[in-house]
Structure formats: structure tokens, C-alpha cells
């Protein structure tokens, strides 16, 4: 089916197109309305080695890289989340708090970790982001101990404090545009299915007529019909 045929088919089945389009659009808009706008605040941590060492730079980089990988996971752990909940007196579980927090290593393979906190309240997002950074540093300082004779110690510091929260309005606009595209696609698919179903039914009817299974009405003899005498002798 080319574009011209599709447009012609859509005109014939415009009610189907509109029904599918409006259904998907209504579901998408309802989801946007029921999902509150969230604000995001970010902070950055730097992981480094402290103390004199005879190890070469490559070995130091390996130590830091190993810590960064484990810290990214640890930042959203229940232990750190519980510390933040207790510190701020939040009325939520550690798991609920962890769902608001994300942590990623700044590419490419740096010793910097980005922390992002999303919340419906701009002020709460900033408070949580700053507290996560501080509580994580306090927690890792208690865990880390000097390694080897050179008293190396991995330390974490805040290089960017919790930022001014920004809204995700642009993301919601993009999602709204995507919903519109999906609604159009749903309408197109509905029209195609309606056309394909109708074509199958039509082809089946034509095949049945060609096979001779049904007798044309002109050849159907009424009930109680008796052939004429002349026809009987023949």
C-alpha cells in the first residue's frame, strides 16, 4: 500500500482513525497530568588517593577506578539511604529514597561521580542531594583505611555542591510530542488493520463464489416446483 492508497483508505475509515488516535492521546495526557513535575538537583564527588606512595601512576589509577565503580553502586545502597533518612528526618523508607537518587561516573573514565536527585519539591531535591554527598563521604571515610606501608588512603571530596534544582519541563514537552506521534501511529495501524480485515473478508467471499458452493439466485427453483410434461419426456 503506497501513500496515496493509504490516504484514500484513511478517508474511508476516518472514524476508526479518530477513535484510535483519541484513545491513545487521552491515555497519554492522563499520564502526564497524573505524573507531577519533578525537579533535579546534582552534586559531584571526586575520588582520589591521599598520602605518599611508591606505586606508579597506573596502579593508582586502578585503585581509584575500582573505588569509583563500587561507590557508584554504594551511593544508592540502603545503608547510605538510611543515613540520609535519619539525618533529614524524612518520612520515607530507604528504598523510597534510593529510587530518587541516581549516581553515574562522569565519562570518559574519570574519578568524578555525578549524583542526581529528583523530587516534586525543588528545595527537597537540593537538600537530599547535598545530604547524600555529605553522608556518603562520612560513611566511606569510616570504611577506608590506609593500605600498604605508604599509608595510602582513598578519599572522597565534594567538588560541586548541590546545584539549584531545575525542572524537567523540557522532558515533559518532549514526552508530550512523543505521545502525539504514537497516537497518530495508533490511528494508522487501526486503519490498516480495518482495511486488511475487510480485504480478507472480501477475498474469502469471492473465492466461495468462484468455487460454486453457492448457487446463484436465478437458478434457485421454488419449493414444490414440478417440471413440465414436455421436459419430462425429453
Segment 185-214, tens digit of pLDDT: 998 898 888 887 876 656 555 655 555 555
| Residue 232 domain-assigned (yes or no) | no
78 and 179 in a single domain? The answer is: no
216 within some domain: no
What integer pLDDT is reported at residue 209 of this predicted model?
A: 53
Same domain? 157 vs 177: no
pLDDT of residue 151: 54
Q: What is the mean pLDDT of residues 123-127?
A: 95
Residue 222 resides in a domain? no
- Residue 227 in any domain: the answer is no
Domains: count for the chain? 2
The confidence score (pLDDT) of residue 152 equals 62
136 and 119 in a common domain:
yes
65-71 contact pairs (CB < 8 A, 24+): 65/109, 65/111, 67/154, 68/105, 68/111, 68/113, 69/105, 71/45, 71/47, 71/103, 71/113, 71/136, 71/140, 71/156
- 72 within domain boundaries: yes
- 62 and 116 in a single domain? The answer is yes
3-state SS assignment for residue 229: helix
- Residue 170 pLDDT: 74
Q: Grid coordinates standing for 229?
A: 410434461
pLDDT tens track for 32-50: 888 778 899 999 999 988 7
Looking at residue 231, its pLDDT comes to: 46
Cβ of 119: how many Cβ atoms within 10 Å? 21
Least confident of 31-40, 47-56, 119-128, 176-185: 47-56
Q: Which domain holds residue 66?
A: 39-167
In a domain, 184, yes or no: yes
pLDDT at 234: 42
Q: What percent of the chain has pLDDT over 70?
A: 76
pLDDT at residue 101 tops 90: yes
144-172 tens-digit pLDDT: 765 554 556 788 999 999 999 988 777 77
| Locus of grid cell 523510597 | 96
Say yes or no: 7 and 63 in one domain. Answer: no
Q: What is the pTM of this model?
A: 0.62
Q: Whole-angstrom Cα distance, residue 150 to residue 52?
A: 6
CB-based burial label for 215 (10 Å; 0-12, 13-18, 19+): exposed
Residue 197 counted as domain residue: yes
Q: Is the pLDDT of residue 115 over 90?
A: yes
Amino acid at each position: 500500500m503506497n501513500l496515496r492508497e493509504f490516504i484514500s483508505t484513511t478517508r474511508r475509515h476516518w472514524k476508526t482513525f479518530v477513535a484510535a488516535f483519541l484513545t491513545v492521546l487521552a491515555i497519554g495526557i492522563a499520564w502526564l497530568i497524573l505524573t507531577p513535575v519533578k525537579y533535579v538537583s546534582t552534586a559531584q564527588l571526586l575520588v582520589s588517593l591521599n598520602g605518599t606512595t611508591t606505586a606508579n601512576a597506573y596502579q593508582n589509577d586502578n585503585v581509584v577506578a575500582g573505588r569509583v565503580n563500587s561507590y557508584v553502586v554504594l551511593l544508592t545502597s540502603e545503608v547510605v539511604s538510611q543515613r540520609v533518612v535519619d539525618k533529614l528526618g524524612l518520612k520515607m523508607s530507604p528504598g523510597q529514597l534510593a529510587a530518587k537518587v541516581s549516581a553515574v561516573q562522569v565519562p570518559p573514565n574519570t574519578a568524578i561521580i555525578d549524583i542526581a536527585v529528583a523530587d516534586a519539591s525543588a528545595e527537597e531535591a537540593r537538600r537530599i542531594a547535598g545530604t547524600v554527598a555529605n553522608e556518603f563521604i562520612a560513611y566511606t571515610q569510616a570504611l577506608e583505611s590506609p593500605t600498604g606501608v605508604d599509608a595510602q588512603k582513598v578519599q572522597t571530596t565534594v567538588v560541586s555542591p548541590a546545584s539549584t534544582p531545575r525542572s524537567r519541563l523540557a522532558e515533559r514537552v518532549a514526552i508530550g510530542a512523543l505521545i502525539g506521534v504514537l497516537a497518530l501511529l495508533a490511528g494508522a495501524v487501526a486503519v490498516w488493520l480495518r482495511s486488511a480485515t475487510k480485504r480478507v473478508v472480501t477475498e474469502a467471499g469471492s473465492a466461495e463464489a468462484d468455487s460454486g458452493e453457492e448457487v446463484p439466485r436465478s437458478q434457485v427453483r421454488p419449493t414444490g416446483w414440478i417440471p413440465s410434461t414436455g421436459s419430462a419426456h425429453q
